[in-house]
A and B are shown apart, each in its own frame.
Chain A
Amino acid sequence: MSIKNKVAIVGIGETKVGKLPGRDPITIQAEAIRLALEDAGLTNKDVDCLLAKGLMDEPEFMQSTHLFEYLGMHPKITSCMDAGGASPCLMAMTAASLINAGLCEVAVCVEGENDATFVRRQEGVGMSRVSEESENVYGFIAAPVSYAMAARRHMHEFGTTGEQLAAIAVAMRKHACLNENATMRTPITIEDVMNSRWIAEPLHLLDCCLVSDGGGAFVVTTAERARNLKKRPVYILGAAAQMTHNRISQSPNPTHPGAWDAAPRVYEMAGVGPKDIDVAEIYDCFTITVLEQLEAYRFCGRGEGGRFVEGGRIELGGELPVNTHGGLLSQAHIDGMLHVVEGVRQVRGEGGARQVPNAEIALVTGNGGILSTHTSLILARG
């Protein structure tokens, strides 16, 4: 029944990220898919399942059907999925399950949008209609204000400091400096983060993710088929998910996200523990998001995340390199898709200047809403 070692990721694709004026979601997604299929040594005719993250800025009715038509595909299965930034890992586990059940054989999962250059038709539109009704009216303008409330609780409960959060931003930026396809490539210090303007206190500008155009995709197939393709397969060893709420006021505890429940499950399925993880691509919409997940994944104790990220522990060369691509904080906000792509890249040994030596096992996480949804994968070198 388990998907462990039954499916592999065999192709990855990543478009240029940042500002891509004049492009739109369909061209970005199509490019990401073309690159991923090329990487896999497969074609559109091989694909019998297409999963796409639902569009955020301008949702489109049955969007993935437009996409497969554009790509000349006639899949058995298609759907859009939307669990926010938890979607890429969710798409991977869904594809793995469909493949494992014999319902399809080659699945492509894609995310792509032009969030940076998209021209909004309405100002101040919230994350959802329900959010508009009950949160926008009080000044919830976008995610930072709510994540700031999670950060403040963490500071209140555990004494976490702004400087400790800043260390996370510094690490992500260091890694982005090694990534040619990253938006922010000027090194920063903890002081720079602390001096950057407040967005929603206690989060500074540099504690917050970018807004970006760009997309990514990956191809999943059976372990058997993977062994006959051109690149070394990356097996899915484990997957897990836990959802907790929609609005932060309804979160049972903003310092104890769903990751706490998902972590033991993904480790158990994979048959590994925190000490076995060589590299971690952790969804980083805000610095606090990373800190809470490091605790949830038991890399340190509850409340100890602040101390854990000090002293370069999560930088390349440290005990647990995190977000070797620069993440949402410094590479680009591609909804967590490039965390899956980078995890695959690292385990294959294709990380170039930012390769973690001998990386064999990667943890990849996804998070959506306001710590509302959570997913994770453990990937292993084939």
Chain B
Amino acid sequence: MQEYAKPLPIPNEDTKEFWEGCKRHELLIQRCPECHIYRFYPSSLCPKCMSAQAEWARVSGRGHIYSYAIGRHVRSPAWADAVPYILGIIELEEGVRMMSNVVECKPEEAWIGMPVEVVFEDVTPEITLPKFRPRKEGASG
């Protein structure tokens, strides 16, 4: 199997549970037990009320494209096989936003507001990346 050459996340104290969830194909987002807002990226403090506590919620993975760009310029060899790729800011139903790829979608077919759902890509035995594919409105996860 060809070695995965693209950058990989290094799970840390804040993100460990997130990445373990991805391995199980679960999208886990932190929620503040005090003020109840969801937050992403995972962190040890609530950005709204500064509570040092966190709960992890398994979310549906449904969201929409908030914005996107089409990467066409190969700046490093690891990305040569990926272009053109869709890099997107995905807004989840829970209101948080994250950067990811939009997959199973031609670049010219993406649009701001397009409904998407999470899919998981097992890129190495240790790391699974959450990505997003087009979803039919009304379809449940």
The range of chain B's interface size is 35 or more
CB-based contact A137/B73 at 8 Å: no
The distance from the CB of B2 to the nearest CB of chain A, in whole angstroms, is: 17
**B5 CB → nearest A CB, Å:** 9
CA distance A250 to B98 in the complex (A): 8
Given A138-B129, A139-B87, A249-B89, A197 and B72 touching (CB < 8 A)?
A: yes
Bound-complex Cα distance A153 to B15 (A): 29
Which B85-101 residues sit within 8 Å CB-CB of chain A? 85, 87-89, 97-101
Residues of chain A in range 115-148 having any CB-CB distance to chain B below 8 Å = 123-124, 126, 130, 132-142, 144-146, 148
- Contact status of A136 and B7, CB under 8 A, knowing A142-B75, A200-B87, A249-B99: yes
Q: How far is the CB of B48 from chain A (nearest CB, A)?
A: 13
Query: In the complex, how many angstroms separate the beta carbon of B37 from the nearest chain A beta carbon?
Result: 14
Across the interface, name the chain B residue whose C-beta is closest to A136.
B7
B9 CB within 8 Å of chain A: yes
A248 at the interface (CB under 8 A from B): yes
Cβ–Cβ < 8 Å partners of A272 in chain B: none
- Tell whether, in the assembled complex, residue A198 and residue B10 are in contact, meaning their CB atoms are under 8 Å apart: no
Q: How far is the CA of A124 from the CA of B70 in the complex (A)?
A: 18
Shortest Cβ distance from B102 into A: residue: A138
Interface flag for A276 (CB, 8 Å): no
B67 and A201 form a contact (CB under 8 A): no
Contact between chains at A198 and B129 (CB < 8 Å)? no
Instruction: Tell me which residues across on chain B come within 8 A of A305, comparing CB atoms.
Output: none
Interface size class of A (residues with CB under 8 A): 35 or more
Q: Say yes or no: A138 contacts B99, CB within 8 Å.
A: yes
Distance in angstroms between the alpha carbons of A145 and B83 in the assembled complex: 13
Contact (A200, B70) CB under 8 Å given A133-B10, A140-B99: yes
Per the bound structure, the CA–CA distance linking A145 and B12 in Å amounts to 26
Bound together, the chains give a CA A152 to CA B66 distance in angstroms of 10
Complex interface: chain A residues within 8 A of B85 (CB): 139
**Nearest CB of B to A8, in Å:** 40
The answer to whether B106 has its CB under 8 Å from any CB of chain A is: no
Shortest C-beta distance, A147 to chain B (Å), equals 8
Known pairs A156-B67, A200-B73 / 11 extra A-B pairs, C-beta < 8 Å: A123-B77, A124-B75, A134-B9, A136-B7, A137-B9, A137-B129, A149-B68, A149-B88, A152-B67, A200-B70, A249-B99
Task: Mark B residues whose CB is within 8 Å of A.
Answer: 6-10, 12, 15, 41, 66-73, 75-79, 82, 84-85, 87-89, 97-101, 107, 112, 129, 131
Chain A contacts to B: CB under 8 angstroms = 123-124, 126, 130, 132-142, 144-146, 148-150, 152-153, 156, 197-203, 247-250, 254
The 7 lowest CB-CB distance pairs between A and B, nearest first, are A148-B69, A201-B70, A149-B67, A124-B76, A198-B72, A136-B7, A200-B69
